[in-house]
């Protein structure tokens, strides 16, 4: 059997077994006893409901992963990629349009296969636990808008990458990297003013107690506010969040309207202080820089596998092409991607602790941040006792109890002085 095929099958199966093991460990780590930190915040029924939510979503994820693995294996072993390639080539176009067709067909097929799972997750599981507020019309429109963005934005970028790899020789990976970086930077400026408004409405925060409190806190940090907005997150879900987006004069602070309903003004200011901590401590540009370096590594390694005959034989391909190389390389890159993701998650968890510390040390009420985190955990039915391996592999934020413990130590240390 082809060595590349054996390697790809092993990567797929080992990745699946790792996810299965972690999911089962995470289910076993659920504890029926409510942590003392949440006494008086969760009642017994709510806590049991949060654990049931973890069980249901985990089992559903396992079913989804199992079906996806089986379909992927069948598709590879039955020559599905070659059939899609022959269909794309039947239009007798040049290599770049053919590559766009090939990639588009695969994307549409993947979307179609995942659609039933997305529908069930949204309209059955999320509905059952009181999160879903998405209408069928909104669900369909979101899908169509995402497809439009993929064609309008992703299509030209993919075409540029294919063109560089076909025409630029050994330095093609570098040109692709530069093009992708430019695309990301432009998208960061476009997102808050063009892309995000396609999906949500952004309304300037009304005058009042909350805006005054935010303005006062921002002034203490010499932070020039470019705009404070609320977003109609309740259009799709009852979950709450807040974030910074954009750069320069396009920079925005955004609160979900659901957050405004669930937290008191002092708690919202504390959440804002946490987000501002990410900005002040330069977490956002550092994470972006690391992502850009990762992308450069990806393009360089990809360049080493372009047109690899053994790799194409593993997928039963009749023709060798740059565009199919991009897809097949993704299978081989998966273990590297997993290792890099572990590093990114660890760095992100560190950043979250630092942003919490910033909020507590710069005038925001540490107790308000703790109470706000608790309320958000309850409203989102968060798992309070995730397994350490699950956290290590998948969590970009520390577990909520660990964050609260760190904040309490910080508050105690500040008080003792």
Q: Are 318 and 85 in contact (CB under 8 A)?
A: yes
| Dihedral Cα 106, 112, 117, 121, nearest 10 deg | 110
Q: Using CA atoms, how far apart are residues 352 and 341, in angstroms rounded to an integer?
A: 16
Q: Give the per-residue pLDDT at 417.
A: 46
For the beta carbon of residue 167, count every other beta carbon within 10 angstroms: 9
Q: Does pTM top 0.75 for this prediction?
A: yes
Q: Are 209 and 234 in contact (CB under 8 A)?
A: no
Of the candidates 85, 267, 275, 352, the residue annotated as catalytic is 275
Q: Where are the alpha helices (DSSP H) in 191-305?
A: 209-220, 257-262, 265-280, 283-305
Q: Give the per-residue pLDDT at 249.
A: 60
Q: Using CA atoms, how far apart are residues 77 and 123, in angstroms rounded to an integer?
A: 34
- HSE (CB half, 13 Å, CA atoms) of 414? 15
356 is catalytic: yes
Of the candidates 85, 126, 267, 356, the residue annotated as catalytic is 356
Q: Which domains does the chain have, with CATH numbers?
A: 3-113+280-416 (no CATH), 202-262 (3.30.2010.10)
37 is catalytic: no
Q: Using CA atoms, how far apart are residues 12 and 22, in angstroms rounded to an integer?
A: 16
- Tens digit of pLDDT at every position of the chain (417 positions): 789 999 999 999 999 999 999 999 999 999 999 999 998 888 888 999 999 999 999 999 999 999 999 999 999 999 999 999 999 999 999 999 999 999 999 999 999 999 999 999 999 999 999 999 999 999 999 999 999 999 999 999 999 999 999 999 889 999 999 999 999 888 887 787 788 888 999 898 888 888 888 888 888 888 777 778 889 989 999 888 887 776 666 667 888 988 888 888 889 899 889 988 998 899 988 999 999 999 999 999 999 999 899 999 999 999 999 999 999 999 999 999 999 999 999 999 999 999 999 998 887 778 899 999 999 999 999 999 999 999 999 999 999 999 999 999 887 755 544
What Cα–Cα distance (Å) separates residue 214 from each residue in 185, 220, 253, 368? 28, 10, 11, 14
Q: Are 340 and 17 in contact (CB under 8 A)?
A: no
Which residues, other chains included, contact 183 with Cβ-Cβ below 8 Å and sequence gap of 6+? Answer: 153, 157
């Amino acid at each position: 059997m082809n060595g590349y095929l054996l390697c790809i099958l092993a990567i797929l199966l080992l990745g699946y077994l790792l996810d299965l093991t972690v999911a089962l460990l995470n289910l076993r780590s659920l504890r029926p006893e409510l942590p003392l930190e949440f006494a008086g915040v969760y009642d017994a029924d709510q806590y049991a409901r949060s654990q049931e939510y973890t069980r249901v979503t985990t089992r559903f994820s396992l079913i989804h992963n199992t079906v996806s693995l089986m379909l992927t294996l069948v598709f590879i072993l039955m020559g599905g990629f070659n059939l899609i390639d022959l269909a794309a080539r039947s239009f007798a176009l040049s290599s770049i349009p053919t590559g766009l067709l090939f990639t588009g067909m695969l994307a549409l097929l993947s979307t179609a296969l995942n659609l039933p799972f997305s529908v069930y997750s949204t309209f059955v599981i999320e509905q059952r636990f009181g999160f879903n507020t998405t209408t069928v019309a909104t669900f369909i429109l979101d899908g169509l808008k995402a497809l439009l963005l993929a064609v309008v934005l992703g299509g030209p970028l993919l075409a540029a990458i294919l063109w560089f790899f076909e025409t630029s020789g050994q330095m093609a990976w570098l040109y692709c990297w530069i093009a992708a970086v430019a695309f990301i930077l432009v998208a960061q400026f476009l997102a808050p003013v063009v892309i995000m408004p396609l999906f949500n409405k952004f309304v300037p925060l009304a005058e009042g107690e909350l805006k005054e409190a935010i303005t006062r806190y921002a002034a203490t940090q010499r932070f020039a506010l470019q705009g404070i907005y609320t977003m109609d997150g309740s259009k799709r879900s009852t979950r709450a969040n807040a974030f910074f987006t954009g750069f320069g004069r396009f920079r925005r602070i955004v609160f979900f309207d659901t957050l405004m309903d669930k937290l008191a003004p002092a708690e919202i200011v504390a959440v804002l202080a946490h987000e501002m901590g990410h900005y002040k401590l330069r977490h956002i540009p550092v994470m972006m820089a690391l992502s850009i370096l990762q992308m450069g590594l990806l393009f360089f390694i990809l360049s080493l596998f372009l047109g690899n005959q053994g790799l194409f034989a593993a997928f039963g391909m009749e023709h060798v092409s740059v565009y199919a190389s991009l897809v097949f390389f993704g299978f081989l890159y998966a273990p590297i991607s997993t290792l890099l993701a572990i590093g990114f998650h660890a760095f992100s968890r560190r950043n979250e602790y630092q942003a919490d510390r910033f909020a507590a040390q710069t005038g925001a009420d540490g107790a308000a941040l703790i109470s706000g985190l608790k309320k958000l955990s309850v409203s989102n039915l968060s798992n309070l006792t995730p397994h350490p391996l699950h956290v290590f592999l998948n969590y970009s934020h520390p577990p909520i109890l660990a964050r609260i413990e760190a904040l309490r130590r910080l508050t105690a240390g500040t008080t003792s002085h």
